[in-house]
């Protein structure tokens, strides 16, 4: 019996351990970017972000002057019990007592450093990167040799506001239309109702790529390209099939007798919709709203096509992609910028996870 | 163009399979673990991150410095510490087409959470007596999983799988931001974009879009059949 119990405990331990490893694998990429966004530019560039954890590091203890010791860098030098060429000293030679000798500088005016290994953590955090990615000005950096390097920052604030201006209407408009549509499908009788709903179901999986070129042509004819209205309408269209389907599933499941008694009392469809159906459908509306908001906020392709020609209206995803393209090595901007772009989705996600999961379970998957 | 189709097939096969496998594994493990909620939240978190954001996150993991310099990318740092040769992974043309896998990983990372949530809900719907009965008859945990749980949630597995297949079929952002389709990583959607909007060759672009549409038709038919069977629509 105790053997069985121990086996069970071991099984539980194994389950927890495997899950822990998987969770770490899934979390480490984000953590790396998050930690790096608070490290200064030089540090990001010269050491891995995991240096924030305690690690062994060589640090100088004292200096030796090779000239005073009469060492000739052009031949094999012997000092403190080790010998080697200039190149070997440049790379660092470990002495028998666990120290390290490293030649700093060039042959003529260099010096020898005696280094010891110590435990170190690299905890020099600041908000500088965020200031630079949001501030939109030039920033000065001191190089190790004392000269000053001017590095332009970026202006994500604008992109952030643009993204809001796109995401909020692109969430509200389809919900309004879809709620009306879903109500009609669920509670009204009209010819072609079934055929139209089948069309909605079919459209759920249609890739939006199919519509991009024709819509772009129409927009050109209507002179809508590169405007907010263009992208609101595009997102509305692309989100409508899913919104209608989801809301229909919910609204058609509302208790029949409540609505019927309202009709008997002489309420019109519009009154029933606004006073009964809308308040009762809040959970479904919220699920879809979160879904659509995240989708629009994170969208890149649709923005690229309908707003691509207008740098004034650049969204966060476009801005980030542009920084990757033009300044892909500027990790101090990329890390902080990535977090600026993720901030709102993560807040929405964590505060409303319940609704989000419910939406997923109801079939919130977009074509 | 053939390259794009081949790559997209890789995306569909590996992307969907690994997302489903990891989603299922995590759902099963989380169900029996002591920190289910936290684990699920953390695995699910990438769902809130945009593809562009995810591309930056993974670019940082893959960050490459020439051999001998300090590697600031996690993967190259690990490789170097084991004495391996650092690589610019997604740009590693020598192993093409397998360098696509370094991009596919990103989507697995994003989608496993989605799969997990659906599987987790489905697993919780399995009656406890059913599994208990299996265990009473002497089935071990693996037999319970493959003999009882998996058949029970078959419907969910199929729908999650098809969803991710459709999703990977249209994959665009990750490839466009990470490599721009260079180094042999073009997929259908990036070719579509390039032909329609960069090369102004919208006839070719439209043809690609139609291919995408044709590719989803089987799923569309399946959905309609499901819908007709349930016939919730009266």
The residues spanned by each domain of chain A are 1-36, 54-120, 156-361
Residues 6+ apart with CB under 8 A from A250: A182, A281, A283, A284, A362
Best of A26, A308, A318 to substitute, by most chain B Cβ atoms within 10 angstroms, is A26
The residues spanned by each domain of chain B are 2-230
pLDDT digits (tens, 9 = 90+) for A228-250: 999 999 999 999 998 998 899 88
Mean predicted confidence (pLDDT) in B67-76: 84
Which among A15, A29, A26, A17 is positioned nearest to B41, based on CA atoms?
A26
Per-residue pLDDT at A17: 93
Residues 6+ apart with CB under 8 A from A126: A38, A40
Share of chain B above pLDDT 90, in %: 29
CB contact under 8 Å between B56 and A345, yes or no, is no
CB contact under 8 Å between B45 and A297, yes or no, is no
Distances in Å between the alpha carbon of A26 and those of A20, B173, B204?
10, 20, 39
Per-residue pLDDT at A2: 65
The full length of chain B comes to 234
Q: Where are the alpha helices (DSSP H) in A208-311?
A: 209-222, 228-251, 256-264, 269-271, 278-280, 282-298, 301-306
A156-361: CATH topology is MetI-like fold (1.10.3720)
Min Cα distance B96 → chain A (Å) is 23
Distances in Å between the alpha carbon of A97 and those of A8, A59, A81, A120, A201?
50, 15, 10, 20, 75
DSSP B99-123: GGHHHHHHHHHHHHHHHHHHHHHHH
Which among A16, A103, A116 is positioned nearest to A66, based on CA atoms?
A103
Min Cα distance A80 → chain B (Å) is 27
Nearest CA in chain A to B219: A205
Mean predicted confidence (pLDDT) in A288-292: 88
Per-residue pLDDT at A363: 63
CB contact under 8 Å between B72 and A294, yes or no, is no
User: Which tokens go with A179?
Assistant: 């709620």
Which among A299, A304, A323, A325 is positioned nearest to A314, based on CA atoms?
A304
> How many CB pairs lie under 8 A apart between chains A and B?
205
Nearest to B170 among A15, A207, A365 (CB): A207
- Per the CB < 8 A criterion, the answer to whether A153 and A135 are in contact is yes
Alpha-carbon span B115 to B157, nearest angstrom = 8
Q: How confident is the model at residue B232 (pLDDT cuts 50, 70, 90)?
A: low
Q: Does A202 touch chain B (CB under 8 A)?
A: yes
CB contact under 8 Å between B33 and A16, yes or no, is yes
Chain B residues in contact with A48 by the CB 8 A cut-off are: 70-74, 77
- CATH class of residue range B2-230: mainly alpha
Min Cα distance A57 → chain B (Å) is 14
Nearest CA in chain B to A31: B57
CB contact under 8 Å between B43 and A22, yes or no, is yes
Nearest to A19 among B30, B51, B118 (CB): B30
pLDDT for residue A296 is more than 70: yes
Q: Which of A119-123, A198-202, A213-217 has the lowest mean pLDDT?
A: A119-123
Mean predicted confidence (pLDDT) in A86-115: 79
Tokens 């977090």 appear where? A339
Min Cα distance B94 → chain A (Å) is 23
More confident position, A141 or B18? B18
Residues 6+ apart with CB under 8 A from A143: A149
Which among A176, A168, A174 is positioned nearest to A228, based on CA atoms?
A168
Q: Which own/partner contact pairs does A265-269 have at CB distance under 8 Å and 24+ positions apart? A: A269/A183, A269/A187, A269/A188
More confident position, A78 or B144? B144
Per-residue pLDDT at A329: 83
Per-residue pLDDT at B105: 94
Q: Does B176 touch chain A (CB under 8 A)?
A: yes
Q: Does B3 touch chain A (CB under 8 A)?
A: no
Looking only at the bridges linking them, the beta strands covering A100-104 and A111-120 are: antiparallel
The ipTM of this complex is: 0.89
pLDDT for residue B234 is more than 70: no
Report the half-sphere exposure of A357 (CA within 13 A, side-chain side).
18
Nearest to A205 among B45, B205, B223 (CB): B223
Q: How confident is the model at residue B94 (pLDDT cuts 50, 70, 90)?
A: confident
Per-residue pLDDT at B175: 92
pLDDT for residue B82 is more than 80: yes
pLDDT digits (tens, 9 = 90+) for B191-219: 999 998 888 888 898 899 998 899 889 88
Nearest CA in chain A to B62: A29
Q: How confident is the model at residue A28 (pLDDT cuts 50, 70, 90)?
A: very high
Question: What's the mean pLDDT when you consider all of chain A?
Answer: 85
Looking only at the bridges linking them, the beta strands covering A138-142 and A93-94 are: unpaired
Chain B residues in contact with A331 by the CB 8 A cut-off are: 60, 63, 72
Alpha-carbon span A238 to A167, nearest angstrom = 13
Per-residue pLDDT at A367: 44
pLDDT for residue A145 is more than 80: no
- Which secondary-structure segment (H or E) carries A149? strand A148-152
Q: Does B55 touch chain A (CB under 8 A)?
A: yes
Best of A7, A8, A19, A25 to substitute, by most chain B Cβ atoms within 10 angstroms, is A19
Q: Does A13 touch chain B (CB under 8 A)?
A: no
**What sign results for the dihedral spanned by CA atoms B85, B90, B93, B94?**
positive
CB contact under 8 Å between B48 and A349, yes or no, is yes
Q: Does B65 touch chain A (CB under 8 A)?
A: no
Min Cα distance B82 → chain A (Å) is 16
pLDDT digits (tens, 9 = 90+) for B19-34: 999 999 999 999 888 8
Mean predicted confidence (pLDDT) in B82-88: 84
pLDDT for residue B77 is more than 80: yes
């Amino acid at each position: 019996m105790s053997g069985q119990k121990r086996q069970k405990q071991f099984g539980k331990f194994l389950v927890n351990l495997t899950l822990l490893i998987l969770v770490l694998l899934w979390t480490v990429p984000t953590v790396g970017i998050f930690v790096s966004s608070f490290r200064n530019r030089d540090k990001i560039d010269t050491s891995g972000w995991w240096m924030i954890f305690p690690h062994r590091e060589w640090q100088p203890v004292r200096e030796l002057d090779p000239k005073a010791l009469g060492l000739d860098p052009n031949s094999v030098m012997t000092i403190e019990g080790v010998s080697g060429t200039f190149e070997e000293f440049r790379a660092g030679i470990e002495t028998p007592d666990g120290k390290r000798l490293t030649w700093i500088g060039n042959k003529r005016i260099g010096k020898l450093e005696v280094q010891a290994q110590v435990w170190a953590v690299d905890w020099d955090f600041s908000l500088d990167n965020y200031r630079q990615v949001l501030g939109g000005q030039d920033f000065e950096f001191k190089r190790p040799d004392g000269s000053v390097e001017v590095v332009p920052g970026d202006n994500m604030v604008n992109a952030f506001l643009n993204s809001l201006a796109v995401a909020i209407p692109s969430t509200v408009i389809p919900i309004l239309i879809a709620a009306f549509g879903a109500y009609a499908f669920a509670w009204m009788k009209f010819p072609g109702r079934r055929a139209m709903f089948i069309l909605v179901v079919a459209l759920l999986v249609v890739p939006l790529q199919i519509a991009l070129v024709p819509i772009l042509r129409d927009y050109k004819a209507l002179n809508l390209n590169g405007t907010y209205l263009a992208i609101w309408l595009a997102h509305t269209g692309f989100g409508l099939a899913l919104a209608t389907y989801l809301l229909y599933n919910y609204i058609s499941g509302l208790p029949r007798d409540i609505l019927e008694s309202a009709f008997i009392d002489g309420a019109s469809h519009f009154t029933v919709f606004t006073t009964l159906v809308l308040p009762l459908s809040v959970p479904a509306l919220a699920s879809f709203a979160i879904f659509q908001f995240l989708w629009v906020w994170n969208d890149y392709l649709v923005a690229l096509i309908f707003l691509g020609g207008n740098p004034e209206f650049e969204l966060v995803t476009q801005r980030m992609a542009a920084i990757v393209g033009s300044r892909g090595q500027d990790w101090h901007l990329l890390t902080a910028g990535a977090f600026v772009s993720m901030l709102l989705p993560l807040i929405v996600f964590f505060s409303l996870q319940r609704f989000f999961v419910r939406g997923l379970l109801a079939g919130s998957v977009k074509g | 163009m053939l390259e794009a189709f081949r790559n997209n097939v890789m995306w569909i096969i590996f992307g969907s399979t690994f997302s489903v496998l990891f989603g299922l594994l995590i759902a099963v493990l989380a169900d029996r673990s002591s920190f289910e909620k936290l684990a699920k939240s953390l695995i699910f978190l990438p769902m809130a991150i945009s593809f562009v954001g995810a591309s930056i996150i993974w670019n940082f993991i893959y960050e490459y410095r020439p051999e001998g310099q300090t590697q600031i990318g996690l993967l190259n740092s690990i490789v170097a510490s084991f004495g391996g040769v650092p690589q610019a992974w997604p740009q590693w043309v020598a192993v093409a087409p397998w360098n696509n896998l370094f991009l596919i990983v990103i989507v697995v990372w994003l989608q496993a959470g989605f799969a997990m949530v659906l599987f987790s809900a489905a697993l919780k719907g399995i009656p406890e007596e059913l599994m208990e009965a299996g265990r009473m008859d002497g089935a071990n945990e693996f037999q319970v999983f493959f003999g009882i749980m998996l058949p029970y949630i078959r419907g969910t597995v199929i729908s999650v799988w098809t969803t991710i297949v459709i999703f990977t079929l249209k994959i665009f952002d990750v490839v466009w931001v990470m490599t721009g389709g260079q180094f042999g990583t073009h997929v259908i959607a990036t070719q579509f974009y390039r032909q329609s909007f960069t090369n102004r060759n919208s006839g070719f672009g439209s043809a690609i879009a139609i291919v995408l549409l044709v590719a989803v038709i089987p799923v569309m038919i399946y959905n309609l059949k499901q819908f007709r069977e349930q016939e919730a629509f009266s």
